Amino acid sequence: MGKKIVIVGGVAAGATAAAKARRVSEDAEITIIEKNSYISYANCGLPYYIGKIIPQKKNIILHTKSTFSNRFNTNVMLNTTATFIDPETKKIVAENNSGRQVIEYDKLILATGGKPVVPDIEGLNDVEYHFVRSVEDAENIVEKLDTAKSVLIVGGGYIGIEMAEAFYHAGLNTTLVEYEKNILPIFEPECSLKIYDEAIKCGIDIRTGTALIKVEKVDDKIKCYLSDKREIAVDLLILATGVRPDTSLAQTAGIKIGELGGVIVNEKMETSVKDIYAAGDMVEKHNLITGKNCLMPLAGPANREGRVAGCNAAGGDMTFKGVVGASVVSFNNAVVAHTGLTMKQALNEGFDAQCIYVENAHHAEYYPDPKFIFLKLIYDKSSGKILGATASGEEGVARRIDVISTAIYGNMTVFDLENLDLCYSPPHGSAKDVEHMAGYVASNQLRGEGFGITPEYFLELEKGDWHFQLLDVRTKIEHKMFHLENSINIYINDLRNHLGILDKDTPVVVYCAVGFRGYLATRILRNLGFKAYNILGGIEAVKRFKKIYQGAL
């Protein structure tokens, strides 16, 4: 036999590592140690199985012990926990119902993942609560859906939102609490508003800026005390409060742990201890934008890291450069996707960051049933380098963020973005797609030709002493349906014939629906000697920020 490769942990990183190791070497002796009952399953699909969108458990089981063992010629040890590593003798201790075993290795790959963050909640140990991390977790929840009528979800991140959707489809009365001031706190709030609105419309009770502080068992219910002084009794309690790297096994081998709490690895996924690799949620990842380490418990990076670790452990030569951070979440038809840094993160990292907003249809607007995508782009003013983007809508949102994520990975600038060669036909996109529009607007800003102001800045101007004229260049019908207070309405096509309405000595702030007509009007006014500025994203962006400031999130 060839070298002995032992992998601790299955699912995304571990199972991928085993499969890649086998493709690299047919001679290797590969053993996987997995603490749960399933070796390879779609953990990202668990909320959709619970909500019966995915109808059967077998649909999320990618491999059984038998199918994986047969296809990849591996020794799969399920319901087995690795407890200790001795890197000097290259032995690992594992325990299961059959007792204690000592397993030798030539190369060891750790893929122990993350462990749930358990908040400090009074009485939590006295009640039943659930995580959504494994097939077993999902099965326990599904068993209770026939009798449960109400649920409290703690945490408004990816899993919290997806579980809220699952329970909506299951017909449960659902409350979600999020400690931060908005749901999906790693996204831009003006974009995550799309999901907030859809969840509220579906009857989900969302409470942001709120914590669960105490629970107690009362009859057959769990009584929950919230920080907003509200008390509710529910049948199910779900903790979706995030994960942290599970490094307990790694520490027994003396492996270096980083400041963020994850295992430190190099581009080859090697740890600080010879012949031991690590991959997945347990490792700190190199952020390609900041150059610093970060934690990113996502399936995509875990799979790619596992592939590299498995290749190298089996004698190959691959590298994993790092992450950008693309992700997407949805609630029914509402979709929000993000890549890179948020504006707040970019400023905190010391970038000279600027942002713009655009909104455009997901395919040609004249083609039936266009769905609009609202996109925020963050970039560095000095270099034009793209730093991040968040978008919301219903159709085509992830595709647009994938394009921008690829541009970030390729170290592109906003000037590159406006010239990207993308697919186009009326049913599938626009000749000037939303990514192009973002590139146009950002590039114009950097060239000094855009004259745009953000909706946040406009709302600050409204509260200040700066005197300006507010010009709405939409149609009279649009203006009548909804307009900003104290605005003058001159339709863009009539603007040149009605300039006398405006005072040339007073700055003009222009807006339209999403920013395009406003930009055209601003350029007309600028060329005729007016001091004009366009609200980026138009009235739609302003409405989003007004909602946020009013505490909608």
Active site residue ranges: 44
DSSP state, residue 203: T
Sequence-separated (6 or more) residues with CB below 8 Å from residue 68:
15, 18, 32, 39, 40, 74, 76
What whole-number distance in Å separates Cα of residue 231 and Cα of residue 214? Answer: 10
Classify residue 377 as left (phi > 0), alpha (psi -120 to 50) or beta: beta
Residue 272: count other Cβ atoms within 10 Å of its Cβ.
16
Three-state DSSP string of 37-89: CCCEECHHHHHHHHCCCCCCHHHCEEECHHHHHHHHCEEEECCCEEEEEECCC
Residue 219 burial by Cβ neighbours in a 10 Å radius (0-12, 13-18, 19+): exposed
Q: Are 352 and 368 in contact (CB under 8 A)?
A: no
Residue 339 burial by Cβ neighbours in a 10 Å radius (0-12, 13-18, 19+): buried
Give CA 414 to chain center in angstroms.
Answer: 22
DSSP state, residue 499: G
What whole-number distance in Å separates Cα of residue 331 and Cα of residue 344? Answer: 25
What whole-number distance in Å separates Cα of residue 534 and Cα of residue 458? Answer: 10
Q: How far is CA 392 from CA 90, 190, 405, 458, in A?
A: 50, 9, 15, 22
Residue 50: count other Cβ atoms within 10 Å of its Cβ.
25
Q: What's the sign of the alpha-carbon dihedral 79, 82, 83, 89?
A: positive
DSSP state, residue 101: E
Three-state DSSP string of 361-418: ECCCCCCCCCCEEEEEEEEECCCCEEEEEEEEECCCHHHHHHHHHHHHHCCCEHHHHC
